[in-house]
């Protein structure tokens, strides 16, 4: 894992040319598998890792990746927005107020709901966010139920 992390970080610090974090992860996994000379354990375990990641999206953002990398190489973090399928009512308010285009409307199908549940399960299993990435001091500050402005 340390080898693929190093390779992924190298890729993330190069010009993007439309590549995504997922592209980098998959490239690093393929490279590690190729370098294992067909070791069945490596192939199997990285296969599990790829299956677990599925289509979970990570992003490189200025506040979490670029600024940290500028100050201390290899310290940048990844960003993800993950919707809780248990609490989402499908009202689209979050999509309407997100002016960065980070959220998009997806038709509710059995497949899209299954994907959302899978992504949420992965998100729940991720480690807690290190304090250096927290941009607020209190959960009450700048967080809470969204209040419409009508």
Per-residue pLDDT band at 55 (split at 50, 70, 90): confident
Q: Where are the domains of the chain?
A: 1-80, 81-136
Question: Which of 30-34, 73-77, 132-136 is least confident?
Answer: 132-136
Q: How far is it, in rounded angstroms, from Cα 144 to Cα 32?
A: 43
Per-residue pLDDT band at 32 (split at 50, 70, 90): very high
Q: How far is it, in rounded angstroms, from Cα 102 to Cα 79?
A: 11
Model-level pTM?
A: 0.71
Q: Higher model confidence: residue 26 or residue 147?
A: 26
Mean pLDDT of 2-22: 86
pLDDT of 26 higher than 80 = yes
Q: Report helix, strand or coil for 32.
A: helix
C-alpha pair distances (Å), 33 with each of 19, 86, 104, 135: 21, 37, 34, 37
- Per-residue pLDDT reduced to its tens digit, 61-94: 888 888 888 999 888 888 888 888 888 888 888 8
pLDDT of 41 higher than 90 = yes
Q: How far is it, in rounded angstroms, from Cα 47 to Cα 33?
A: 9
pLDDT of 147 higher than 80 = no
**DSSP-assigned letter for residue 72:** S
The confidence score (pLDDT) of residue 110 equals 92
Question: Which of 18-22, 55-59, 128-132, 146-150 is least confident?
Answer: 146-150
């Amino acid at each position: 894992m340390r080898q693929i992390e190093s390779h992924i970080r190298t890729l993330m610090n190069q010009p993007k040319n439309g590549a995504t974090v997922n592209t980098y992860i998959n490239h690093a996994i393929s490279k590690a598998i190729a370098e294992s000379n067909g070791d069945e354990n490596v192939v199997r375990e990285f296969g599990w890792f790829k299956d677990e990641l599925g289509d979970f999206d990570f992003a490189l953002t200025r506040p979490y990746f670029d600024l940290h990398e500028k100050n201390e190489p290899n310290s940048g973090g990844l960003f993800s927005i993950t919707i809780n399928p248990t609490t989402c009512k499908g009202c689209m308010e979050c999509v309407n107020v997100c002016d960065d285009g980070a959220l998009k409307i997806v038709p509710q199908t059995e497949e899209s709901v299954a994907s959302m549940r899978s992504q949420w399960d992965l998100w729940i299993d991720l480690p807690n966010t290190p304090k250096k990435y927290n941009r607020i001091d209190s959960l009450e500050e700048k967080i809470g139920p969204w209040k419409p402005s009508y």
